[in-house]
Structure 1
C-alpha cells in the first residue's frame, strides 16, 4: 500500500463487505438514566464462563459511562428493528423516549422486541487503539422467536429463505 489513507480505505471496504448482526448496547449512568448505542463489534468469547465482547470508540459521547459501568445489556436486534439501529446510532436525540423499553431486574434498560438480550456484568476491559474492548460475563439471557437483523454494504435485511438448506 502506498499510504495509510489507502490502507484505511481498504480496511473499511473489507469490513464493510462482511455481513454482521446488529446490536444495541445499553446501561444506566450513576443517576439511573438509560444510555445506549448501536454496535457492530460484537462476538462470543467463551462458553465457560459465558463471555461476550464488544468495543466502543473513545470519541463516543457515552464512552465514560460505559468505561465505568459494571454491567450492560447487549441486544441482538430482530429483522423488524432497523429503525432501532438507526435511532441508537443517531446523535442529539433522546433515544429511549423514542422506543419501548423497560428496566430489568438487574437495573438495565431493555429494549422491547429484540431477537435476543444478553445481560452482562463487566468481566474485563482491554485497551485497543482508539477503542476499548469490554468483555462481559452473561448473567441473564432472553430470546424471542424472531429473525435476526443483518447489516451488509450499508443495508439492513434478514437471512433469505433460500439460504437455509434442508435435508
Structure 2
C-alpha cells in the first residue's frame, strides 16, 4: 500500500467524545479514568448498542472490562480544551478530572461531562480487531443538552473543528 490508513482517514470527519469509566480501589472507592475518543459508533437501536474502539494495551480498556460500565459524553465545540487534555497522558487527565465539572451517572457511576449528548453504557461484549479492541456497550441511560442548538466538536484532518450548523442545515 502506498498510503497508510491514518493518512486516508484524515478525510473522514468524526465527532469528539470523552469516554469515562472507573475501577474499584482497595478502599472500596472508585478510581475514575477518562479519555478522548472519536471512535464512537452506533451499532443497534434495539437493543441500544454502541461501540468504542480502544488500543489493545489501553489502561482505559482494562478498567472498562473490570468495572463493566462506561459513559460517553459527546462534546460541543466549546469543549476543545477538555478534549485536548483528555487526549493526553494519564497525569494530566487525572488532574483535569479534579478540575472539570462532572457528575456520576445514575445508572453506572461513571462520570459524565457537560456535553451536547451523553450515554451511560453497561458492558455487552468485546472483540479483538487487529491492534484494537471493539468494546460494545448497551445504553442504559442517555440524553441531550438542554440547549438543542449546541455546535458539535469535529475531528478532521488531524485537528479539531467547529461545524457550522447553519450551513449544514440548509
Q: Normalized against structure 1, the TM-score is what?
A: 0.88
User: Could you say which residue in structure 1 is the equivalent of 2:151?
Assistant: 147
3-state SS in 2 of match to 1:157 = strand
**Separation (CA, whole Å) in 1 of partners of 2:32 and 2:138:** 20
Corresponding position: 1:44 with 2:42: yes
Is structure 2 residue 18 aligned with structure 1 residue 20?
Answer: no
Where do 5+ consecutive residues of structure 1 fail to align? none
SS at match of 2:82: helix
After superposition, the CA RMSD in angstroms is 1.4
1:116 CA drift (Å) = 0.7
Deviation string, structure 1 residues 52-95 (Cα, Å, up to 9, x no partner): 10111023333321232311001110110011111111113223
Mapping 1:94-109, distance limit 5 Å: 94=94, 95-106=96-107, 107-109=109-111
Query: What secondary structure sits across from 2:78 in the alignment?
Result: coil
Q: Which segments of 5 or more consecutive residues in structure 2 lack a partner in the other structure? A: none
2:115 equivalent in structure 1: 114
Aligned pairs for 1:33-72 within 5 A: 33-72=31-70
> d(CA) in 2 for partners of 1:105 and 1:61?
24
TM-score by length of 2: 0.86
- Matched residue, 1:158: 162
1:129 aligns with 2:130: yes
2:72 to 56, 70, 74: 74
Q: Per-residue displacement from partner, 1:84-118 (whole Å, max 9, x unpaired)?
A: 1111111132230231111222311111x211110
